[in-house]
């Protein structure tokens, strides 16, 4: 596997605020950075209390891969009605993905998703039998829903795919 060069966005909070306001028409009441391996993400609460995630994709992610992610979220939300999934928000001009150029000349793709409140599984204790059954049921529903999903970018190589994990040997002692 070839590990491609990847430029992670490093926009300032003010720039993220401008993007959310100018591209998506939000009036920001609160904004903070969220962790991410590849993207730069921001939690946003607007002036009426709606919550969002502003996602600025790294240069390694093409628009087709982001379109696939958007369509996958929509596909799941349409098929698993008793569970909340992030919703894709459109720009003021009706697009799901906007293109911006940073001051350094790098081009990035920007999306806005609804934010879902919740607790991380890793930080939830105890892992009761009911919780584990619920998780298993949801994973089964997701797997079944994805059986009818297809997208040209769904069959791409990812370094975290266990089927191709051998690439890591070149990076270990």
**Tokens standing for residue 8:** 């992670």
How confident is the model at residue 47, as a pLDDT?
96
pLDDT digits over 63-92, tens only? 998 999 999 999 999 999 888 999 999 999
How confident is the model at residue 124, as a pLDDT?
93
Q: What is the mean pLDDT of the chain?
A: 88
Domains and CATH numbers, the chain: 13-156 (3.30.200.20)
Asked, as a colleague might, if the bond just before 134 is cis with ω within 30 of 0, I would say: no
pLDDT digits over 19-47, tens only? 999 999 999 999 999 988 788 999 999 99
**Distance between first and last Cα of the chain:** 18
Cβ–Cβ under 8 Å, residues 116 and 104: no
Cβ–Cβ under 8 Å, residues 19 and 54: yes
Q: Is the pLDDT of residue 4 over 60?
A: no
How confident is the model at residue 66, as a pLDDT?
93
How confident is the model at residue 2, as a pLDDT?
45
Q: Is the pLDDT of residue 1 over 50?
A: no
How confident is the model at residue 144, as a pLDDT?
95
pLDDT digits over 95-121, tens only? 999 998 877 777 889 999 999 999 989
Q: Residues 162-170: contacts with CB within 8 Å, 24+ apart?
A: 164/1, 166/1, 167/1, 167/3
How confident is the model at residue 59, as a pLDDT?
65
Sign (positive or negative) of CA dihedral 120, 126, 130, 132: positive
Buried residues in 157-173 as b, exposed as e (16+ CB within 10 A): eeeeeeeeeeeeeeeee
């Amino acid at each position: 596997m070839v590990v491609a060069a990847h430029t992670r966005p490093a926009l300032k909070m003010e720039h993220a605020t401008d993007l959310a306001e100018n591209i998506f028409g939000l009036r920001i009441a609160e904004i903070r950075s969220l962790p991410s391996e590849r993207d730069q993400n921001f939690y946003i609460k607007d002036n009426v209390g709606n919550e969002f995630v502003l996602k600025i994709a790294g240069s390694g992610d093409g628009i087709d891969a982001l379109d696939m992610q958007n369509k996958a979220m929509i596909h799941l939300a349409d098929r698993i009605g008793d569970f909340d999934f992030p919703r894709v928000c459109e720009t003021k001009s009706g697009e799901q993905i906007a293109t911006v150029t940073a001051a350094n000349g790098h081009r990035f793709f920007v999306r806005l998703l609804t934010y879902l409140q919740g607790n991380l599984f890793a930080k939830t204790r105890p892992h009761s039998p009911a919780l584990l059954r619920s998780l298993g049921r949801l994973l089964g529903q997701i797997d079944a829903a994805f059986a009818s999903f297809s997208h040209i970018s769904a069959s791409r190589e990812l370094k975290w795919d266990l089927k191709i994990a051998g690439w890591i040997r070149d990076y270990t002692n």
